[in-house]
């Protein structure tokens, strides 16, 4: 499987559709986040699904267990390959999310956002380093029956060693020489895969390239 999933972070349905069509066959799938979902809703997701490309819905669900379960049931008709929830929602919420998910949908828990570093964690009352917090939340996700987690490339090796059959989504991936942008804990595609990543989430290095499909194929070939 091609592990490269392109992050289509735009509210524009036309632009998202054009990118998905251009990248079909060059990436493993597309990641649609809150910006797209809030602008276009399930109908917009369905339009992208019609292209015939696997969908990763990065909605980071985080609420009481009953509400998250209801949201997962509402998403099921869209047949997403992957849906994210926040590990910080706790065990009952994680179990409810997995129980309500579609049979072929992987539910993965967001651990520590790649835009956060240790000082950011301290500002919200978490004194542990990002690495330690990721390990704690990975264990919670595993014990709650989820398929895997979302973590940065800096933590995926340790997480994989403790959960060998887990599914690891690594965002904040930047090819050598690419701009870091708003990410604080980044890694190259090759390093992430070598350390156990199942999916690489890559946005601007592909979507802002002169030829997005060629950029995606180049990254995949480097693996």
Angle between helices 130-143 and 91-100 (to 10 degrees): 50
User: Is 60 considered catalytic here?
Assistant: yes
The gap from C-alpha 28 to its chain's centroid, in whole angstroms, comes to: 13
- 91-144 tens-digit pLDDT: 999 999 999 999 999 999 999 987 888 898 889 888 888 899 999 999 999 999
User: What does the pLDDT read at residue 158?
Assistant: 94
Sign of CA dihedral 98, 101, 106, 108: negative
User: What does the pLDDT read at residue 172?
Assistant: 81
User: Residue 177: pLDDT band by 50, 70, 90 thresholds?
Assistant: low
**DSSP codes of every residue in 6-55:** EE---S-HHHHHHHHHHHBTTBSEEEEEHHHHHHHHHHHHHHHHTT---E
List the chain domain ranges.
Answer: 4-221
User: What does the pLDDT read at residue 179?
Assistant: 53
pTM for this prediction: 0.91
- 11-53 tens-digit pLDDT: 999 999 999 999 999 999 999 999 999 999 999 999 999 999 9
Q: For the domain 4-221, what is the CATH code? A: 3.20.20.70
**DSSP codes of every residue in 127-150:** -S-HHHHHHHHHHHHHHTT-SEEE
**Annotated catalytic residue: which of 31, 60, 98, 106?**
60
């Amino acid at each position: 499987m091609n592990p490269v999933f392109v992050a289509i972070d735009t509210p524009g349905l036309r632009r998202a559709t054009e990118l998905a069509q251009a990248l079909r066959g060059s990436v493993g799938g597309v990641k649609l986040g809150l910006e797209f979902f809030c602008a276009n809703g399930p109908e917009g997701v369905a339009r992208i699904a019609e292209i015939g490309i696997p969908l990763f819905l990065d909605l980071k669900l985080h609420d009481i267990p009953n509400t998250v379960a209801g949201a997962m049931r509402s998403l099921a008709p869209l047949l997403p390959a992957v849906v994210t929830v926040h590990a910080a929602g706790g065990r009952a919420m994680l179990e409810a999310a997995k129980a309500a998910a579609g049979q072929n949908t992987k539910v993965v828990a967001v651990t520590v956002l790649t835009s956060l570093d240790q000082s950011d964690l301290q500002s919200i009352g978490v004194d542990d380093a990002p690495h330690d917090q990721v390990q704690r939340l990975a264990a919670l996700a595993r014990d709650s029956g989820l398929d895997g987690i979302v973590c940065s490339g800096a933590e995926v090796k340790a997480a994989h060693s403790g959960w060998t059959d887990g599914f690891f989504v690594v965002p904040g991936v930047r090819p050598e020489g690419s701009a870091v942008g708003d990410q604080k804990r980044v890694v190259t595609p090759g390093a992430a895969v070598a350390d156990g990543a199942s999916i690489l989430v890559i946005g601007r290095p592909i979507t802002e390239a002169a030829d997005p499909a060629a950029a995606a194929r180049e990254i995949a070939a480097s693996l």
